[in-house]
Chain A
Amino acid sequence: MKKLKVFLNGLLYENPTLVIFLGMCPALGTTGTIENAVYMSLCVLFVLFLSNVIISSIRKIVPNEVRIPVYIIIIATLVSIVDMLFHAYLPYDVYQSLGSFISLIVVNCIILGRAESFASKNKVSDSIIDALGYSAGFAMAIIVVAFFRELIGTGALSWAGHSLQIIPSEYAIKLFSTNSGAFITLGLVVAGYTAIMEAVKAKKAAKEKLAENK
C-alpha cells in the first residue's frame, strides 16, 4: 500500500511538471513533437531510475559533507552515458532536435530533488518505485503537451518520418509549434489537470461526508 502511494505521489499528487513545476526546461523545449517528448521521457526515466538506485544503495557510506558533489557526479555520469547511447543508436534527426536538453538533465531539479529528498533517505525498493512514479508523471505531462502542440501546430502527428495528417494543414495554428505555444499549451494542460484533480478531491470529500452522516 505504501509503495502504491509512493508511485501515485509522483504520477499524480506531486506530478513534477503539472503540480510542483520542476524540470520545466525540457517540458517546454522538447514538446514540439510526440517523438521528442517520448525520447526525453526515456532519458529522464533512465537517469532518474539509476540515480535513485545508486544513491539509495550508497546512502549509508556517503559522508554528509560531500553528498551533493557525489550526487552530481553520479547524475552527470548517467546523463553522459545516455547522451552517448542516444548519439549512437537514435535517429540522428531526433538526437539533434533533443540537442542540449539531454545534457541539461544534469541540472534537472526532478533528478537532484529526488536524490536529495527521497533516495538518500529510503531503501532501494522504495527509491525504484519513486523513480518510476516521477518518471511516469513527467512522461505523462510532456507527452500530453507534445500531443496538443504537434496536433494543433501542424495538424499532424508524426513518428520516425511517418506522418498522419488529422487536421488539414491550412487549419493548423503555427503559434503552437513555437516557444510561445509551449507556454500556452502547458498553461492550458496545467489548468485542465488542476480542474480534474480538484473535482476528484471534491467528489472524494463529498463521499466521505456522506459516509460520516450515515
Chain B
Amino acid sequence: MNKLLKLPIFLGVVGCLCGGVLSLTNFITKDKIAQDEYERANAAYYKHFAEFKTKKEVALTDELKAGGVTLKEEIFSDEQQTASLGYIYTCSVVGFAGKSSPINFTLSFADGKINNYVNLGHGESAQGAKFLDWLDKGGNNLTNLDAGKAETGSSVTYGAISKAFSLCTADYLANYNK
C-alpha cells in the first residue's frame, strides 16, 4: 500500500516541478516569440513602410477586383490608426491573356506617388520572369513600365502587370485628390 501511494506521488511531484519550470520558461519567452511571429507575418509590410504598425482593410471596387487586385489596405504608424503612412494593394494577375501562371505582388502608394513594389512570387520561367526581375530592381522608378517592354518575357507579363499598376494608381490618386 505504501509503495502503491509512494510511486504515483513521486511521479506527480516530479511532473509538477517540471511543469513549473516549463511555465516559467514560457513566461520568459512568450512575448519575444509572439513579437517575432508578428514581425515575420508582416515582413512584406515592412518592405513598403519601415514604420508599419497596424493596417486597416479598405473595400475594393468592382473594377479593382476585375483587374486582379485582391486586397487594399491603409497602413498606419500607430496603434490608434490615426497616422496614415499610405496604401498597399495586393494583386494577383495572370499574364498572356489569362493563360500564364499567376503573378502575385504588392504595390504601395504614399504622398501621391508609387512608394514600392514587392514581388510575392510567380510561376514564370527564368526567361519569362526577366520583366519581373527588372521590376524587382526598381525598373525606371516604377513610374514608366513601358521602359521595361524590351525585357524578355514582357510580352507575357507586361500587359497584366501594367493594367494592375494603372488601376491601383488611378484608384489611389482618385482618393488622394479628394
Contacts and interface: CB of A to CB of B under 8 A. Distances in A.
Q: DSSP class of A's interface residues: helix, strand, loop or mixed?
A: helix
B21 A81 contact: yes
A77 B11 CA distance: 14
A188 interface: no
A207 B22 CA distance: 54
Interface stretch (A20-28, A67-75, A198-206): A67-75
Interface residues of A, number: 18
B36 A77 contact: no
B33 interface: yes
B25 A84 contact: yes
Nearest to A87: B33
B81 to A, nearest CB: 28
A70 B14 contact: yes
A70 B14 CA distance: 7
A66 B22 contact: no
A159 interface: no
Contacts of A89: 29, 32
Q: DSSP class of B's interface residues: helix, strand, loop or mixed?
A: helix
- In this complex, the interface size class of chain B, counting residues with CB under 8 Å from chain A, is 10 to 19
A84 B33 contact: yes
B31 to A, nearest CB: 9
A77 B10 CA distance: 16
Contacts of A85: 25, 29
A168 interface: no
A66, A77, A89, A92 — which one has the most chain B CB atoms within 10 A of its CB? A77
A80 interface: yes
B7 A77 contact: no
Interface of A: 62-63, 65-66, 69-70, 73-74, 76-77, 80-81, 84-85, 87-89, 92
A65 B11 CA distance: 11
Given A63-B3, A65-B3, A76-B18, 7 more contacts: A73-B18, A74-B18, A77-B18, A77-B21, A88-B33, A89-B29, A89-B32
Given A81-B25, A84-B29, A88-B29, A73 B15 contact: yes
B29 A63 contact: no
A92 B35 CA distance: 12
Contacts of A88: 28-29, 32-33, 36
A92 to B, nearest CB: 6
Interface string B1-40: 0010011001100110010011001101100110010001
A101 B139 CA distance: 43
